[in-house]
Amino acid sequence: MATRFVSTRGGSAAGVSFEEALLQGIASDGGLFVPAGIPVIPKALWTDAATLDALAIPVLDRWIGDEFEPGALASILREALDFPVPLVPAGGGVYGEETYVLELFHGPTLSFKDVGARTMARLMAYFLARRGRRLTILVATSGDTGSAVADGFAGLDAIDVVLLYPRGRVSPIQELQLIHKRPGVRALAIEGTFDDCQRLVKQAFLDPELASLPLSSANSINIGRLLPQMLYYLWGAAQGAWSTPPSFCVPSGNLGNLSAGVLAHLSGMPVRRFVAAHNENDFFPRYLAGEEAAFGPSVTTPSSAMDVGAPSNFERLDWLLDAERMRRLIRGERVDNAATLEAMRAVRDETGYLADPHTAVGFEAVRRQRAAGDVSPFVVLSTAHPAKFVEIVEEALGFAPDMPARLAAYRDAETDVLAMPADYPIFRQFLRDASPGS
Ligand SMILES: *Cc1c(COP(=O)(O)O)cnc(C)c1O
């Protein structure tokens, strides 16, 4: 079937294909791409699948299948979604009985961003090969996105990745993941902050002197990352024997993950509601509570991957749901830094589960729903493995989490990184020299 994609800002009224939306990233009027019509996914398509990729194939076929040669979408999805996504019981005590964790961190870089990034990379590679074109992906990252994107795109023909991270401002293990030597990927350690990295990338996109370089981005405003993220909601919903439809609690920053859940719901997945669990970056909970809320600068917290003051996917949610329906469907919670560390301890004590700081924000949000009398089933999305945040686990719990072998392997692996000042002319020259066409 042919889903068309339109801009949240009303431009491209006729809509573009998925291929166009994916490769453009952002609509020409500056808006985000949203589906002009949402296909209804018959329940049997997702309730009967034995694996995530087996679920993914018929579901995404309903959305975008007509844009692929026969069999191509299926092989992309089989290759991208080749890791388990277990639904783990984690109830008990103040967290209630029917509480589960959907562990999204079993991919190669141990964060949920592997799902979207691996799939998007292969989708892009497919369309670029068909067009005979090349692309350079620029990513500014403060942690998980960069390594998931670099890993997802590494070694794919026709795509080069340049990733920029603020030197010394990511966790030690995250840095090892970022500078891991990968074919087709250059890591730049920028002498500056995350905002400096983002500024350099934005300047490059707007620079008329680089207009001839085929540049694109891979952050969560790209619809190509969101469609695959719907799949694990359907998967989680299909795994449980629920007494009533579950609620999903989503540790949130840029609101991409939550937007994907809302898309899954609008395409037919029953839910009681969503809970948007935020840290001290609390624009969205305040908005949902009816406060006069505005985007602001980001605040540093222990759940650093959610330190987003201006969540770009809010514009998408706002388009998908009118204000009244949004407030009925989504509840917001703000969890401060002390409550995050306290939740890491309480979750461990009451349920035995070891939650990373992001997942702990989700648990605390669930605890508050329980305290308010909600006994319905809950699924907390676990967005990262605790071993990615060793220092914070140690601070909260007094011990270091076990390091999975594939994370420990980064310590011994070959690295490749170039230090660079936060200086646009130097960055531009680097892009010119690095681009294959120059
Ligand atoms: C990116 C990230 C989030 C936030 O997801 P959004 O889609 O930006 O809301 C939460 N937890 C972890 C570990 C992340 O890497």
Task: Find the 300 Cα to ligand 1 centroid distance in Å.
Answer: 14
Question: What's the chain's average pLDDT?
Answer: 94
Query: How much is the pLDDT for 423?
Result: 97
CA torsion angle 126 205 18 117 (round to 10): 60
* pLDDT tops 50 at residue 205: yes
For the CA of 257, the nearest atom of ligand 1: 7
Whole-number Å distance between alpha carbons of 67 and 58: 14
pLDDT band at 422 (very low <50, low <70, confident <90, very high): very high
Query: How much is the pLDDT for 171?
Result: 83
Query: How much is the pLDDT for 172?
Result: 87
**Model-level pTM?**
0.95
* pLDDT tops 90 at residue 25: no
pLDDT band at 1 (very low <50, low <70, confident <90, very high): low
- For ligand 1, whether the C-beta of 302 sits within 6 Å is no
Residue with tokens 């995250």: 174
pLDDT band at 369 (very low <50, low <70, confident <90, very high): very high
* pLDDT tops 70 at residue 437: no
**Between these two residues, 434 and 393, which has the higher pLDDT value?**
393
pLDDT band at 281 (very low <50, low <70, confident <90, very high): very high
pLDDT band at 438 (very low <50, low <70, confident <90, very high): very low
Give the pLDDT mean for 290-295.
Answer: 92
* Percentage of the chain exceeding pLDDT 70: 99
Those residues with Cβ within 8 angstroms of residue 257's Cβ, 6 or more apart along the chain or in another chain: 112, 220, 229, 250, 251, 381, 383
Query: How much is the pLDDT for 14?
Result: 83
- For ligand 1, whether the C-beta of 201 sits within 6 Å is no
Q: Are 117 and 154 in contact (CB under 8 A)?
A: no
For the CA of 359, the nearest atom of ligand 1: 11
Whole-number Å distance between alpha carbons of 379 and 270: 13
Whole-number Å distance between alpha carbons of 241 and 141: 38
- For ligand 1, whether the C-beta of 256 sits within 6 Å is yes
* pLDDT tops 70 at residue 396: yes
- For ligand 1, whether the C-beta of 304 sits within 6 Å is no
Tell me the pairing of strands 159-166 and 378-382: unpaired
Give the pLDDT mean for 88-116.
Answer: 96
* pLDDT tops 80 at residue 81: yes
* pLDDT tops 70 at residue 388: yes
* pLDDT tops 60 at residue 26: yes
pLDDT band at 157 (very low <50, low <70, confident <90, very high): confident
pLDDT band at 436 (very low <50, low <70, confident <90, very high): low
Please give the helix or strand (H or E) that residue 101 lies within, else none.
strand 99-103
Catalytic residues: 113
* Percentage of the chain exceeding pLDDT 90: 82
Sign of CA dihedral 406, 49, 62, 266: negative
**Three-class secondary structure of residue 105 per DSSP:** coil
- Top-confidence range, 39-53, 196-210, 294-308, 423-437: 39-53
Task: Find the 253 Cα to ligand 1 centroid distance in Å.
Answer: 6
- For ligand 1, whether the C-beta of 170 sits within 6 Å is no
Give the pLDDT mean for 401-408.
Answer: 92
Give the pLDDT mean for 365-392.
Answer: 96
What pLDDT digit, counting tens, does each position of 297-340 carry?
Answer: 888 899 998 998 889 899 999 999 999 999 999 999 999 999 99
For the CA of 254, the nearest atom of ligand 1: 8
